[in-house]
Chain A
Amino acid sequence: MKARIGLAQINPTLGDLQRNLEIHREFIDRSCQGGVDLLVFPELSLTGYFLKDMVPQVALRLDSPVVHELEELSRNISLVVGLVEESEEALFYNAALYLEDGVIRHCHRKVYLPTYGLFDEQRYLARGRTVRTFRSRFGQTAILICEDLWHVSTAYLAAQQGTDLLLIPSASPGRGVERGEKLEIAETWEAINRTYATLFTMGVCFANRVGYEDGVNFWGGSEIVSPAGERLLKGDYFEENLLVGLFDLEELRRARISNTLRRDEDLDLTFRELQRIYRKRFPEGDGDE
């Protein structure tokens, strides 16, 4: 089966849900016309990124009318959408939803909230506690959001749950202009995507936004990388784009025949060693919460 995957490299308006929903409708409409099976929007695509005190104002509960509309839209096309999710106990998460056949199949809450340099997410947002995969019509699927991917452990956990397709909504700020032809951050991300695709033999779909917020640019460059590490699709840097590429799911099988890393991975070794390391580092067993 070949999946037609769209990456919505959009420029959301900061804190304007209605306007951003309009952009989503438009990209979904265009994608449906183009026969796209799965459309991936960037991180916080419904809200914009540097929300600060706007977080509670733009947050959505999963039973809200906006989410319901997206569920309805997913009857025709599978969707990944970024939002601030408000939990029942009024905690706010940087989350991404996977919607398919009219329902929310999965909600990933960003686990690693960067709070360094230009980032300040932990001041405003609650931290997700799980890395889980789910069954989509394209196989075993995982969502990890932006900074999550800078911790190898999250991709490893996803891979160990059998992930075929890793979806990465991002809002990566562009910076670093002294090395080579590209933004330093773009070089790093491209290395991450290619490395994870190859080492974990899975398809990687990276949807990164564009635009500027308070002078900070988001560099786009969305891409799909095959499990053989081949770049199947690449978005322009900085420009708004609807990118559409074909991902042949048979590639997964072929890649895993020629590259047996997944088969050979010794989960038992990792588990035992992690337990030993944990006991050594936290003899009282109180490493966290």
Chain B
Amino acid sequence: MKINVPLVRRMLTGFIRNEVQKTGHERVVVGLSGGIDSSLSTYLAAEALGPEQVLSLIMPYRTSSPQSLDDAGKVVSALGIRSRIVDITPMIDSYFATFPEADPVRRGNKMARERMTILYDFSMAEKALVLGTSNKTELLLGYGTLHGDMASAINPLGDLYKTQVRQLAEAMGIPEPILRKPPSADLWQGQSDEGELGFTYEEVDRLLYYMVDRRYNEEQLQDLGFEAGFIARVTKRIQGSQYKRRLPVIAKISNRTIDRDFRYARDWGR
């Protein structure tokens, strides 16, 4: 699972530069939470395009940890990129004043989608592409909000597991506190990814790697020492979240239906 860090760094900065510039853009806008994923995406973009071409939006809610804000600030000053703080508290509170019964998951999803709308608003205002920050682990597990943090124009991290993100982040000199703190969606206090998921990234990444990348079957996975229950739980998560990784299902009527028999690359003509 260990990646060749300089090689991946080169592939990803090339990816950002190429995919941004060929759509006629020069800039990206990225939602910077102060966590490791968004920090790494931001570092890669600054290296690929130059710091002046990167706009980071820091979008706290009133319950967001002050540490997150502080960490995001560290990234901004280390890279010398542009940044704006947009407080989403008024929008979120105003909405949930109408639906006070909403549970934390609904609230968390709403915050993620609120941030998405702001990113896309700035995308238009700044003629900048929205840079994604979802890694392969969360994409496979469906541990993200559809049309929220999963939304982006280009995503440099989507084929890297969380532990590989750590490797690359370390090599790129991302500030220590960001590398060390436990990953969290920071939607409410004390939330942590690993607490919510019920397993560590180390464990699940190793399983995903053998299951997805190496195509081991269940028996072979058990031979590697993974428990049947763990395998089943992760398999169910992957299957159950498949819808999040696809476009909406279109009912087929004609002879040529978008994405089924109307097939073009996204980089069509670019």
Residues of A within 8 A of B (CB): 11, 13-16, 50-54, 174, 177-178, 180-183, 211-215, 217, 237-238
Q: Across the interface, which residues of A come within 8 angstroms of B270, CB to CB?
A: 13-14, 16
Query: Roughly how many angstroms separate A16 CA and B268 CA in the complex, as a whole number?
Result: 9
A213 contacts which of B7, B10, B265 (Cβ < 8 Å)? B265
Query: Roughly how many angstroms separate A181 CA and B268 CA in the complex, as a whole number?
Result: 33
Interface size range on B against A: 20 to 34
Would you give 5 A-B contacts (Cβ < 8 Å), ordered by A?
A15-B268, A54-B264, A177-B4, A212-B18, A214-B266
Q: Are B4 and A178 in contact (CB under 8 A)?
A: yes
Q: For the complex, is B14 an interface residue (Cβ under 8 Å from A)?
A: yes
Q: Across the interface, which residues of B come within 8 angstroms of A178, CB to CB?
A: 1-4
Report if A14-B265 is in contact (Cβ < 8 Å); known contacts: A177-B3, A178-B2.
yes
Shortest CB-to-CB span from A79 to chain B, Å, is 25
Shortest CB-to-CB span from A213 to chain B, Å, is 5
Query: Roughly how many angstroms separate A32 CA and B2 CA in the complex, as a whole number?
Result: 45
Residues of B within 8 A of A (CB): 1-4, 7-8, 10-11, 14-15, 18-19, 22, 154, 262-270
Q: Across the interface, which residues of A come within 8 angstroms of B4, CB to CB?
A: 177-178, 180-182
Q: Are B269 and A15 in contact (CB under 8 A)?
A: yes
Query: Roughly how many angstroms separate A53 CA and B261 CA in the complex, as a whole number?
Result: 8
A214 contacts which of B2, B262, B267 (Cβ < 8 Å)? B267
Shortest CB-to-CB span from B251 to chain A, Å, is 21
Q: Are A13 and B8 in contact (CB under 8 A)?
A: no
Label chain B's interface by main secondary structure. Answer: loop
Shortest CB-to-CB span from A282 to chain B, Å, is 31
Instruction: Name the residue on B nearest A16 (C-beta).
Output: B269
Instruction: Name the residue on B nearest A15 (C-beta).
Output: B269
Q: Across the interface, which residues of B come within 8 angstroms of A52, CB to CB?
A: 263-265
Report if A214-B18 is in contact (Cβ < 8 Å); known contacts: A177-B8, A178-B1.
no
Query: Roughly how many angstroms separate A30 CA and B115 CA in the complex, as a whole number?
Result: 49
Instruction: Name the residue on B nearest A120 (C-beta).
Output: B263
Q: Across the interface, which residues of A come within 8 angstroms of B2, CB to CB?
A: 178
Instruction: Name the residue on B nearest A174 (C-beta).
Output: B11
Q: Are A53 and B267 in contact (CB under 8 A)?
A: no
Query: Roughly how many angstroms separate A177 CA and B10 CA in the complex, as a whole number?
Result: 11
Shortest CB-to-CB span from A177 to chain B, Å, is 5
Q: Are A53 and B262 in contact (CB under 8 A)?
A: yes
Shortest CB-to-CB span from A107 to chain B, Å, is 26
Q: Are A183 and B7 in contact (CB under 8 A)?
A: yes
Shortest CB-to-CB span from A57 to chain B, Å, is 10
Q: Across the interface, which residues of B come within 8 angstroms of A183, CB to CB?
A: 7
Query: Roughly how many angstroms separate A178 CA and B8 CA in the complex, as a whole number?
Result: 10
Q: Across the interface, which residues of B come within 8 angstroms of A174, CB to CB?
A: 11
Shortest CB-to-CB span from A48 to chain B, Å, is 8
Beyond known contacts A54-B264, A178-B1: 18 more, CB 8 A cutoff: A13-B22, A13-B270, A14-B270, A15-B269, A16-B269, A50-B267, A51-B265, A52-B263, A52-B264, A53-B263, A54-B265, A177-B3, A182-B7, A212-B14, A212-B18, A212-B19, A214-B265, A215-B15
